[in-house]
Amino acid sequence: MNPTASREQNRQHQVNIIELSYYELKQATNNFHHSNKIGQGGFGPVYFGKLRGQNVAVKMFNPHGRQGHFKFEQEALILSSVRHPNIVKLFGLCSESMALVYEYLSNGSLERNLRVLAWQDRVRIIQEVRSALIYLHFNRPYAIVHSDIKPANMLLDGHNMSRLGDFGTARLLRQAGKKNINRMTIPMGTTGYMDPIYLKTQMLSTQADIYSFGIIILQLLTGRESVFGITDEVKKWIGNKECPRRIFDENAGSWPYVEAKQLLCVALQCCDCDELKRRPSLTSGCWGL
């Protein structure tokens, strides 16, 4: 599928996505002043701005090289056709400068806030991300695989409500009954969050997101910022009868132990690399809290 052609074909389905000029973006960001810079992505900087009476985040894409163009077109295509309370909202785009304009989320990324959130916020965020993934994976006519789910790509508003962002590596998969698998030549994502099965087979499916989601759940429950070896460590903790409660991050407050342990087990199932069938469905009852 050609992202540029698809974006033009889907214009009729876009709601309130406006084409902006480079001049408007310069005005909104105080001429891209360094004090307005709030982030640096892999393909360009992100600026805070005020545009048409709203606080916005302006994401610039590097115009040099094919990857910048591809990610700009891909993210514009997908975010202009989806609407979900837990997916970042795209307000507009600027084709001449390869920029996307989003709602501004004042609390920043989950990565930055991971250790300071109360357990209630963490559990709610898990359910919010799950809701967003259900929406994406069961989208028609194409399932959407994010393929780079990580705390840095999960943004929080002033009430710590989460939004999934950064769809530059997302892929559209044809729905064929219960299967939606697409051949990928070069796996994309972030080391530590990428599904080992996807890395080995180069076959992308919605299971890649399930694995990443499982890793994030383990981080939210344990408070661990490093993901390397996290599944093995959690399994070892669970096997030790003397310290299962110590698994959970004390900074989050007093966890409801039974429910939290259930989530821990579900997260480990999401990360199962021996048999994909063991990974839980996002719509199954095992997620109930």
Q: Which residues belong to the active site?
A: 148
Q: Which of 254, 80, 166, 284 is nearest to 245 (CA)?
A: 254
The residue type of 253 is G
CA–CA separation, 75 and 204 (whole Å): 18
- Do 137 and 282 meet the contact criterion of CB atoms below 8 Å apart? yes
DSSP 1-31: --HHHHHHHTGGG--S-EE--HHHHHHHTTT
Q: Which residue has the tokens 């540029």?
A: 4
Phi-psi region of 88 (alpha: psi -120 to 50; beta: other; left: phi over 0): beta
Residue 38's CB is within 10 A of a number of other CB atoms, namely 14
| DSSP state letter for 89 | P
